[in-house]
Amino acid sequence: MIQIYCILYLFSNTILIDPRYHTYAEAMQELDSIATQYPSITKLYNLGFSTRDSLPIMGIKISDNPAIKEDEPAILFNGVHHAEELLGGEVCLYLINDLVSKYGTDSSITYWINNAEIWIIPILNPEGHNVVMNGIDTIWRKNKRDNNNNGFFDLDSDGVDLNRNYDFNWEQGGSPDPTSEYYRGPYPFSENETNIIKDLAQENHFVFDICYHNVRTGQGELVYYPWRWGTQFAIDHPFIKRIADTLASRIINDAGNGTYVSIYGYATEGNARNWLYGVCGTFAYTIEVSRSCYPPGYKVDSICMRNLPGAYYLIGRTFGSSITGIITDSITNQPLVTEVRIIGYYDSTLTPRMSDSLFGRYRRILNPGTYSLQFIKQGYDTVSVNNIVVAPNIPTILNIRMRRLGVEELNPKFEIRNPNLLVSPNPFKNRLDIRYETSETGYKTMNKLISGISVPISIRLKIFDVSGRVVKSFDLVTCYSLLTTSVVWDGKDGSGRRLPSGVYFVRLETDGFKKTEKAILLR
Ligand SMILES: [Zn+2]
């Protein structure tokens, strides 16, 4: 019996799944070697363990300073919620390889890695992926939860459909029947795998997400967006839909005679896309890659390659039309978790859209146009800002200082927040973080709580020694230097020589202003 099983196992393993597809072990090995080869722009994270087999679920963060949570927009890509949808993992791995190999040569990719935090989880469901790759069941979809608690893995009755297990309209989606392929689990977020996405999303406030899937039904080459709920589209529909259309149009289909097509998904199931949008405000898209489930291996590279322009459009869109800023307490300057409402695009049934706790940062992706916003926090005066113009292709910066109720402020009552230049730690040894934010003054007169709106300007960042000699200057990308940005100085001069201990001056200069900060280098 065991022998027969082994023969079948080997037979199905070698015949059914093309070796072009990574096994889980191969994928993890590849992530490992990438992280070893690119330590300055990648970090591998063990985000948790699979529900039944306790397999590590790995995510890679691609960003400069990857060990630190910086004030940068975060984007998530993930594959293999569904075990047999192997292509999702392949697209993720391909994307990772493309990003890291072009850092330093491709100016867009270099900019994104320096100024965004890109998270990629190629295989969210490793124990299910093993079921498929080992040939135990090559169309297995779920994880391996022991639904009947008998200690065995039963193909007929075990497993949870991870993409029905999220806590958003959970009770309306999938199936309550454990034997169903669409079993939604005993309760929302019952599975380790979905909790990984939940925790990561709550920590990172993703602006965008792509969940890569790969249907068996042939209904592929589609970009699903949130959502249709009864007769209603989502409140952010004009923004979400336009991005979905563009994203889909960037991906050439397998036949080569057209592109992927955007389509709404229904809100009434607990999938990742609905939860990410409904609860986190993330514009989350599900891409059904290709029209066949694990097509022959020789087709995989082409399918992955054709998906890159979609992913890259979305990363670039993070730095496009939007309103972003930092919300602080007007007296303490501490970041504040505050609700941000865009008038006309507010849905009281969804979880409020908040700034983050670490930086007070909020980001709202919008179409070009004119918007009014409200910033609401208990114990503070509500701040209303009207008629903010969002331009094409660049973010509008709107920093907000919230005034605590009943607190009298010193003059000036509402100080305009100046462009920032911060250096830390100080003194420093090997690494000085230089954070800067620039802003123009176009909106100063409209509302004194607004720090300003930014336009593309040239920015010069130089480091001088005490004799006034320039020892290092940084080339900063002009058109994108609108958000709070950071660069790292390693204490070396322009030719890479270690500079001696002493006092140095970091000077930020734009057309509108200059600011200098002193930094002390210790050797
Ligand atoms: Zn799927």
| DSSP class per residue in 458-473 | -EEEEEEETTS-EEEE
Find the 271 Cα to ligand 1 centroid distance in Å.
10
Q: What is the mean pLDDT of residues 393-414?
A: 75
* Å from CA of 480 to ligand 1 middle: 35
Confidence of residue 271 (pLDDT cuts 50, 70, 90): very high
Q: Are 78 and 443 in contact (CB under 8 A)?
A: no
- Is the predicted pLDDT of residue 423 greater than 80, yes or no? yes
Specify whether the CB–CB gap between 283 and 236 falls below 8 A: yes
- Which of 375-389, 398-412, 420-434 is the most confident on average? 375-389
The answer to which of 89-93, 227-231, 246-250, 438-442 has the lowest mean pLDDT is: 438-442
ipTM of the complex: 0.95
Residue 28: per-residue pLDDT? 98
Are 377 and 387 spatial neighbours (Cβ–Cβ below 8 Å)?
A: no
pLDDT at 296 over 80: yes
Q: Which residues pair with 489 in a beta bridge?
A: 432
| pLDDT reading at 198 higher than 90 | yes
Mapped onto helix, strand or coil, the DSSP state of residue 166 is coil
**Position 458 pLDDT exceeds 80:** no
- Which pLDDT score is estimated for 430? 86
Q: Which residues are catalytic?
A: 288
Q: Sorting pLDDT into bands at 50, 70 and 90, what band is 424?
A: confident
Torsion 15-21-26-27 (CA) sign: negative
Distance 74 CA to ligand 1 centre (A): 23
Structural domains for the chain: 13-317 (3.40.630.10), 322-402 (2.60.40.1120), 420-521 (2.60.40.1930)
Most confident stretch, 57-61, 217-221, 386-390: 57-61
At residue 104, the pLDDT reads: 95
- Give ion ligand 1 contacts, CB < 5 A: 82, 85, 213
Contact 63/81 with Cβ under 8 angstroms?
A: no
Q: Which segments within 63-199 are labelled E, that is strand?
A: 74-79, 117-121
**Collapsed DSSP state (helix, strand, coil) of residue 380:** strand
CA distance 400 to 329: 9
Gyration radius of the chain over CA positions: 25
Closest residue by Cα to residue 125 from 35, 74, 58, 29: 58
Ligand 1 center to 285 CA (angstroms): 12
- Percent of the chain whose pLDDT exceeds 70: 87
Residue 354 DSSP class = B
Answer yes or no: is pLDDT of 449 > 60.
Answer: no
pLDDT at 12: 46
According to DSSP, residue 104 is labeled T
Asked if 396 and 318 count as a contact pair (C-beta separation under 8 A), the reply is no
- C-alpha closest to that of 287 among 112, 421, 91, 107: 91
CA of 270 to the centre of ligand 1 (A): 13
Average pLDDT score over residue span 225-231:
97
- CA 464 – ligand 1 centroid, Å: 55
Which letter, b or e, does each residue of 206-223 get, where b requires 16 or more Cβ atoms within 10 Å of its Cβ?
bbbbbbbbbbeeeebbbb
| Greater pLDDT, 483 or 48 | 48
Flag whether pLDDT at 443 surpasses 70.
no
Confidence of residue 173 (pLDDT cuts 50, 70, 90): very high
- Helix or strand or coil: residue 130? helix
At residue 34, does pLDDT exceed 70? yes
* More confident site: 437 or 134: 134
Calculate the average pLDDT of the chain: 89
pLDDT bin (cut points 50, 70, 90) of residue 212 is very high
Residue 36, exposed/middle/buried by CB under 10 A (0-12, 13-18, 19+)?
Answer: exposed
Q: Closest Cα partner for 186 from 132, 140, 149, 215?
A: 149
For residue 227, say if its preceding peptide bond is cis, omega within 30 degrees of 0: yes
pLDDT confidence tier of residue 442, bands split at 50, 70 and 90: very low
Comparing CA positions, the residue from 389, 385, 395 lying closest to residue 365 is 395
Edge to edge, what strands does the sheet with 485-489 contain? 420-424, 432-437, 485-489
Given a contact cutoff of 8 angstroms between Cβ atoms, the answer to whether 154 and 173 are in contact is no
Residue 475 is predicted with a pLDDT of 64
Tell me the C-alpha distance between 22 and 4, whole Å. 26
Is 74 in a helix, a strand, or coil?
A: strand
Backbone angles phi, psi at 336, to 5 degrees: -125, 135
Among 22-36, 194-208, 375-389, 499-513, name the one with the lowest average pLDDT. Answer: 499-513
Q: How far apart are CA 148 and CA 508, in angstroms?
A: 64
Distance 159 CA to ligand 1 centre (A): 15
Q: Which two tokens stand for residue 221?
A: 């080459």
> At 431, is the pLDDT very low, low, confident or very high (cuts 50, 70, 90)?
confident
What residues have CB less than 8 Å from 229, skipping those under 6 apart? 266, 267, 268
The owner of tokens 């199931």 is: 269
Ligand 1 centroid, distance to 368 Cα (angstroms): 33
